[in-house]
Each structure stands twice: as C-alpha cells, then as structure tokens.
Structure 1
C-alpha cells in the first residue's frame, strides 16, 4: 500500500470493540452455568481463534450467543497468532478431565509460556512442553499457586479464569501489564464470579453466572488515530468510556506529556495537535502503545526514551521492528535492551516492513502520513489480527 503525506487530519470515528474484553467474555461464557449473550463483540483473527477454542471445549457459539456445555471437554485448540487464546486455553485445560492439545502459528510457538506452565504443573497438571505445541492433562485440584508474571500478565488472567471453574488462590509475582489483570477481574464481576484480593494475591471462588455482557470500546486500537490527531490536527473517537480500566487509557497521559491537547468526555476522547516535546516513558503496563508512542517521539522535538519490559516477545520483536522502520525514515534511533532512544525530526517517505505485526503496520501507516514523500507499507494484511477495517477507517478519517 502506498501512503502519501497529508497536510492536516480532522474528523471522528467510532471506537472498535475491545479485543481484550471480547476474549475474556467468550471464555467466561464457556464456563457459565447457562447461555450468555456477548453484545458488541470484536470479530478479528485473534477473537475468532478464541471462538474456535471455546467450541473445541464444547461450547455452542452462534455469533453473540454462547451455550456452554455441562462440562468442558478436552480437545484440540489452534490459537492461530493469538497469545491470549493460547494462554487462556492452556490454563482452562488444566481444569478439564482429559488431555488437550494446544498449538499456534510459528511466531506464537516462540512466545513464552513458561510461567503459566510451571504454575499448572505445581497444581498437578501434566504438561508436555514449556512452549507451543503442548498437551495439558487435567484436572488440577483446587489449591494455592504462585505464578511468575514478569513476561506476561496473561499467565495471571488465565489462572484467574481457571479459578472461576475450580476455585483457586493465585499469587502473581512481578506482574507486567497490570491493567490487563484488572480487565479480567472486571469481566469476571460482570459474570458473577466472586473473589477476594489483597494487592496481586487473589482467592477466586468457583461459579460463573450467565450474563448479557456488552464489550466496551477499545483504547488500544483507538490510540493510532488519537496519535494521528496529536501529530496532524484534531481527531475525536467516540465510545471510549472515561471510567474504564483498560491498559491503553494511559496512552492519553503520555500524549499530554508529549504536549498534545487531550479532552476526555464521559464516552469519547478528542486529541488535538500541540507543540510536541521529547519525553522519557516506561510503558510496561501498556506495551501495545509502544509502536505509536515511538512514532510520536519521531516527530517530537528532542530526544525521547520509550521503554517497556516485554516488547521483544510480542508478535514481533517490536524494539527491533520500530528501530528498523524509523531508521529507514531518516530518524536517529538507538536500540536499547528494553526500548528505544529516538531523536525527533521530520521522517522521510520509505519502504516499511511490518514484520507481520499488526501494530507495526498501523503505527507506521500513521507515521507515513506526515513524512516527506510517499511511503510503501508492505504486508498490510497483518492488521486483520486485531483491526480488519483499519485502512477503511483511515480513509474515512482522511475524507
């Protein structure tokens, strides 16, 4: 795809439904006592992997309606490229009597599973490997477990979902991306799951009630267009709730720190271009925003440092991917172990490599809008992982 630069962007869009909440709602509907309805779900490659997973466990899914089995059954789960699907399925397989095989696409086979695998083994599950493909033989017994969550908060969320089925005490050690754990707990509350907590130690009681659950709008995918507003004009995104606990709501604070003008309504966010200055930021709690934050740093005056602990274990090595692409655009970038040092300037048009990573493709598309000269984005199909209509919405925003 060829992207030519624009002078200004002004417009508004409706936020996409949240991918993270959609995953959680469908897995909880699998465990519920009766039929549930998921309103406003996001359907993309990742969430369709989750729908396939809960079907493999015995649920009947008819679009937004989920009819749970009397008891989930073992089976085969192919998680595609979805880390959430793989990790939640692995955890829940620990509560099922029998042997479940879980696999995924090539990059997913490289992503860490070790903290979750160790926790499940400590609970008595039989597991064949520390990475995909792996087989899980349950059931585990109700009990207490500690999990090293320094590589992924999904290890904790998976065990919390398992606790909703079997009852479990979970202690999360060194958790990253903590707001995603809060999202899991909020969704559990909507499905009537009872739990107690002290910090990041939880006691989850078994039992999931049916729910009519509406998926909120997604701050993560909205961040790309809000970033465009910060760089090129003014953008408003509707259907973003001010009181949400989503990780990427912190992206708005980062925009303000850069110097953009941010207005928060009860159900919308509006971002307007300001005089952007370099910042130093650790986005370990909202790492999905790293690519678009790196793009904003590329336009900000001065030298920014953007870090996060787990960037190299995503759909791509995002530190390397952004370093390669921003360097191609003529931006001075220094690669750090856990992030980038970026000296802002005026990017030049370039041939962009997405590394088959949806967030790299979307972030670099926004970067190209203000570059000197046209850019070519290779492999735009990767956006279907989370936002199949991204380029349609980008065209709509550009008029």
Structure 2
C-alpha cells in the first residue's frame, strides 16, 4: 500500500527561530502565526524568556513583547545548534554576562565558525564548544567573507551588527538560506543586498527593531520526507500544502526533479516575505545523479534522505562537498552509511560524502542516534520492505516534527 493524501507539515523551523529572536529584541509586540513548537524552537522561546522578553503561547500563534535589555543568565539550548549560534551573535553587544549550554550532542558541535569572526569585531567570548561564555562588549565594524556557505554564521554576524558601532558587511560567495535577510526589513532592520563581482554582499546598519507580524509557512525540510516517500514507495501520491518555496530551501525537491520524479507545484503565492505553494509528488522511476558544489547548501539537511532515495534509483549516485554533515546532531555521513547498510543498502562512505548503488531494502534493527532527521529517514526506509524494521530512539523526530509518526500512519502506513 502506498502513501496517499494531502498534508500540511509543521511550520518552518528556521523561520520560527528567527521570528522569536527578532521579536524578543524588538520594540513593541510581535505576533507569530503558525509557529513551529518542536523542541528546538522551544529552546529558543525559553531562552528569550530567560533574557527578559515576554513570550506567550496561544492557540495558533505566539505573541512576544520585546525587551531593551538582555538580563544576565545561563541558557540551556538543548539540542539546538541554531539557538546557540544565533544567540551568540545576538548577545555579544548587550551589557551582561551569559552562558550558553547544551545537551551532550550539542556540546560536541563546533561553534568556532561563529565565535572566531565575532571576536574579530571585538566580542568577548570564551569557548569554541559549549558551554560558551559571553561578556557583552562594544563591537566594531566588520567586513567578513564566509569561508563556507552557512546561514547560521551569516545570521549570527548580522544579529551582532544590530548593536555594533559601525557597518556590518557579509560577503557570501555561495548562497545559503536567506531567511534572516528577508525578515529583518519586516522588523525595520536597515539591510541592503547586492551582487558585486559575482559575490552576494549583505550590508547592515546598526539600529533597533520594531515589532512585526510574521506568518510561518510549512517547512520544506519536513515536507521532504513525504516527497521522498511518495517518489519511491509504490502506488504513492502525496500533496504537501502551504510549503515554503524559497529556492535556498528546496534543493532536495529540485534534486528529485533531476532524478526524474513526478513533481507538480501549484498555487504558488506570497506569504509575508516568502512564497508558498502546494507540492505533489508521485511514484516515479528515478535515475542516479551526482550532487556537489553549490547544490549542497540548499539541501544539506536532506542529504541523509537523498541517500535513501538514491538507493531506489536505477543507477548509482554520489554526494561530495558535504563534509558539513560530520558536525551535525551526529556525524551524519557515518550514521547514515552504517544504518542504511544494516537495511541492505550498498553505500560507501567518503571523506565528504558517500556513493550509493541501487539496492533493495531489507528489515533490521537500526538506531536514530538522537538525530531527528535520521529517525525520519529510517521511518521512510521501513516503508520499502515487508520485513520488520525496528528503529531505536524513533521519537527523537519530535525535535523538528512533532507527530511525524502519526502523520505517516495517517497517509497509509504503520511503522514500528
């Protein structure tokens, strides 16, 4: 039995994180409609409460009253790298002392890509791994070229720039997620984006923000699991509605199209600073492809899912230039390879990616290793075999997609 039906997946995690932070430091009231209330975004919400903002949860929205000062405190960022990296940038210009902590997994993830450029502009930060200790200081001008495509680094530098004494310039040779640049003007941020000699240049003048209304679309990173399932599970057709169609976020959908998947995009329309649409994917015969270079940042979170999809193609696939996967919630290259091998996939690990050959999926005992995206990928894999697949730690998917297991069942399949 295939996957069939229409579904509105949870709202976008990246946009929710940023809307909560911007609202917490803005003057006045911010209303966030349809926010994601998974564990990672709740870490950001609780952080802003501890810092002095008022964050109220209502039926379908979050209402935030911002604060001019950030109270000195210790913040538990849980498993959320976005919370820790963006908060580091946000707090360095405030008059206070702050300690950012995380769980065991987050404490192993490197923060130097954020702390190093912030120190260059005068930030007083101790530690390149959690706990990160910050003492607010006066920040100078910065002109920084991103060495790798990273929306979190870019956003941290821009957030610090709101309270700096001079202009912030970020040069981005390879485009990463652009939600921060799109959203700051909505809150009154003075930001300008141009292309100079083929490089994307973002300029931000310091200044306060004002409260705004934000509508959060459905998360394409969550919808991707249903796109993948619909493409590879026989007799499937799934429509995901109101999905954010930002091109920096739908690299995986474009990859499915390259592989020959049947993809239909309908009712494209604006929602705030973003575009949303209804996306339908149906079972298809897929061909293997090679992914690398500029294609990687726009689907970095979906590459574990690509490994599974590639195993169902008619020819081999390769991923390269994806070393960033090794410093996610787990070493996602290693864990994806080991767990898919357990299920019978012919997959080989490389330093910065993997090679996958067409393979039938079989049953087995696998582990999510505390990684929400690995858990969801394995649940999709289980749809491809009649043999039992036992997933240890499956509930970790709640981090970004509460009720994922239930939604998968509702579309037609039971997973253990």
What is the CA-CA distance between 1:118 and the residue it aligns to?
1.4
TM-score by length of 1: 0.93
Match of 1:277 among 257, 274, 287: 287
CA–CA distance in structure 1, aligned partners of residues 92 and 317 of structure 2: 44
CA–CA distance in structure 2, aligned partners of residues 101 and 372 of structure 1: 49
CA–CA distance in structure 2, aligned partners of residues 71 and 229 of structure 1: 48
CA–CA distance in structure 1, aligned partners of residues 191 and 323 of structure 2: 29
Alignment of 1:1-399 (within 5 A): 7-63=1-57, 64-146=62-144, 148-150=146-148, 152-166=150-164, 168-172=167-171, 178-180=175-177, 182-198=178-194, 199-205=199-205, 206-232=207-233, 233-242=236-245, 244-245=246-247, 247-265=248-266, 266=268, 267-282=277-292, 283-285=295-297, 286-307=299-320, 308-398=322-412
What is the CA-CA distance between 1:133 and the residue it aligns to?
0.5
The equivalent of 2:271 in structure 1 is none
Number of matched pairs? 388
Aligned 8 A contact 1:31 1:165 in 2: no
Q: Report the 3-state secondary structure (helix = DSSP H, G, I; strand = E; otherwise coil) of the residue aligned with 2:161.
A: helix
What is the CA-CA distance between 1:111 and the residue it aligns to?
1.0
After superposing the two structures, state which structure 1 stretch, 43-52 or 69-78, moved more. 69-78
What is the CA-CA distance between 1:148 and the residue it aligns to?
4.5
Q: Report the 3-state secondary structure (helix = DSSP H, G, I; strand = E; otherwise coil) of the residue aligned with 1:54.
A: helix
Aligned 8 A contact 1:248 1:288 in 2: no
Aligned 8 A contact 1:358 1:384 in 2: yes
Change (3 A) 1:153 1:241: closer
Change (3 A) 1:213 1:56: same
CA–CA distance in structure 2, aligned partners of residues 168 and 94 of structure 1: 16
After superposing the two structures, state which structure 1 stretch, 39-48 or 106-115, moved more. 106-115
Aligned 8 A contact 1:122 1:145 in 2: no
Q: Report the 3-state secondary structure (helix = DSSP H, G, I; strand = E; otherwise coil) of the residue aligned with 1:398.
A: coil
CA–CA distance in structure 2, aligned partners of residues 147 and 389 of structure 1: 40
Aligned 8 A contact 2:27 2:209 in 1: yes
Q: Report the 3-state secondary structure (helix = DSSP H, G, I; strand = E; otherwise coil) of the residue aligned with 1:364.
A: helix
Aligned 8 A contact 2:220 2:244 in 1: no
In structure 2, runs of 5+ residues without a counterpart are: 269-276
CA–CA distance in structure 1, aligned partners of residues 147 and 109 of structure 2: 14
CA–CA distance in structure 2, aligned partners of residues 363 and 191 of structure 1: 36
CA–CA distance in structure 2, aligned partners of residues 149 and 89 of structure 1: 21
Aligned 8 A contact 1:284 1:310 in 2: no
What is the CA-CA distance between 1:14 and the residue it aligns to?
0.8
CA–CA distance in structure 1, aligned partners of residues 74 and 278 of structure 2: 41
The equivalent of 2:274 in structure 1 is none
CA–CA distance in structure 1, aligned partners of residues 149 and 84 of structure 2: 15
What is the CA-CA distance between 1:324 and the residue it aligns to?
0.6
After superposing the two structures, state which structure 1 stretch, 121-130 or 99-108, moved more. 121-130
CA–CA distance in structure 2, aligned partners of residues 112 and 151 of structure 1: 15
TM-score by length of 2: 0.89
Q: Report the 3-state secondary structure (helix = DSSP H, G, I; strand = E; otherwise coil) of the residue aligned with 1:230.
A: helix
In structure 1, runs of 5+ residues without a counterpart are: 1-6
CA–CA distance in structure 2, aligned partners of residues 260 and 33 of structure 1: 47
RMSD: 1.7
CA–CA distance in structure 1, aligned partners of residues 145 and 80 of structure 2: 21
